[in-house]
Amino acid sequence: MKSALPTLAAACSALMVSAAHADAVGLPPMNLGNTSFLDGVAGPGFLFELATSYYRATRIRDDAGNAVPGNPRIETAAIVPHIAYISPDVTLLGGNVGAEVLLPLVYANIRPGPGTGDHNFAAGDIQFSLFIVQWSGQALFGMPFFQRIDLLFSAPTGQYDHNRLANAGSNVWTVTPYYAFTLMPTDKLEVSGRLNYQWSGKNTQPPASLNAGSIQPGDALSLNLSASYAITKQLRLGVASYMLTQLGEDRIDGIRQADSRERVFGAGPGLLVQGDGWQVLLNAYKEWGARNRPEGSKIVLRVLAPL
């Protein structure tokens, strides 16, 4: 494997907890700041990654951005083992072809308001891709450029109970194509990004409180942007951000729900420490501008190593 480690994670960092949202239907987990520095850089071979995250919110915002009453408290954590492979021999359009699988374990402590609450620790929905294409060694306006496309699926294999507030799984299929890149304007400065588009299928066992036959989250778009600077060969410092916008309205029993689209922004500092064949990334985020979802803070810690 090349010294540049693949950074392919799409680790989930939140549970599907519709009851903790301001609207009736919550989006399945998306990559919100879970990947950051050097995201587009990858080399052929196997990669093992252990991604962990912690999220805490004490506010839920409605469609107008107002705080929902009730003094809510939401805590979620995830541990996501992740294995990826990029073939040195199989290529497509000049890029190396690969695959990946992620197996999340998730915890939540959900208290939407006084007298209500639930907590849970269980396996989440498996995520997998059989179609990764990684391009390395390219140049954009004379600057080193790395890019990747991926078609990521999430299957409804995780724990789910329509009578519970907190569930490890979302009980829907999702399809998330994404595009990731890293541009190196200088030998020390890099800029990276990842654009995700998520389609969600129907949940035919929606929360019992809805008294409905099916729900379907609207399509959503998220963008991670980051930049880091090499202080030494082993240490990079930088800033990372993310944004989420829901493009389509949620549906309950096939009926579009007005004012149901989610939105949030997040940003914060981060660092990357690397050695001979390993990387550790740490990012912290503060959210603002939430609509129809919680608004809080998040920490992401990732350890990557070739096999």
Query: What is the tens place of the pLDDT at every residue in 259-279?
Result: 999 999 999 999 999 999 999
Task: Output the furthest CA–CA distance in the chain (Å, rounded).
Answer: 60
Whether 200 is in a domain gets the answer yes
Torsion of CA 61, 64, 66, 70, to 10 degrees: -60
Query: What is the tens place of the pLDDT at every residue in 238-265?
Result: 999 999 999 999 999 999 999 999 999 9
Report residue 23's pLDDT band, with 50, 70 and 90 as the boundaries: low
pLDDT at 8 over 70: no
Query: What is the tens place of the pLDDT at every residue in 118-141?
Result: 999 999 999 999 999 999 999 999
Q: What are the φ and ψ backbone dihedral angles of 185, each rounded to 5 degrees?
A: -60, -35
| pLDDT of res. 113 | 83
Whether 224 is in a domain gets the answer yes
| pLDDT of res. 11 | 35
- 95 neighbors 53 (Cβ within 8 angstroms): no
Whether 49 is in a domain gets the answer yes
CATH of the domain at 52: 2.40.160.40
Average pLDDT for 183-209? 98
287, amino acid identity: E
End-to-end, the C-alpha distance of the chain in Å comes to: 9
Domain count, the chain: 1
Enclosing domain of residue 282: 18-306
pTM, to two decimals: 0.92
Whether 100 is in a domain gets the answer yes
| pLDDT of res. 6 | 41
Whether 2 is in a domain gets the answer no
Share of the chain above pLDDT 70, in %: 93
135, amino acid identity: W
Whether 241 is in a domain gets the answer yes
pLDDT at 14 over 50: no
One-letter-per-residue 3-state SS of 30-51: CCCCCCCCCCCCCCCEEEEEEE
HSE at residue 226, side-chain half, CA atoms within 13 A, is 36
What would the two tokens of residue 2 be? Answer: 């090349």
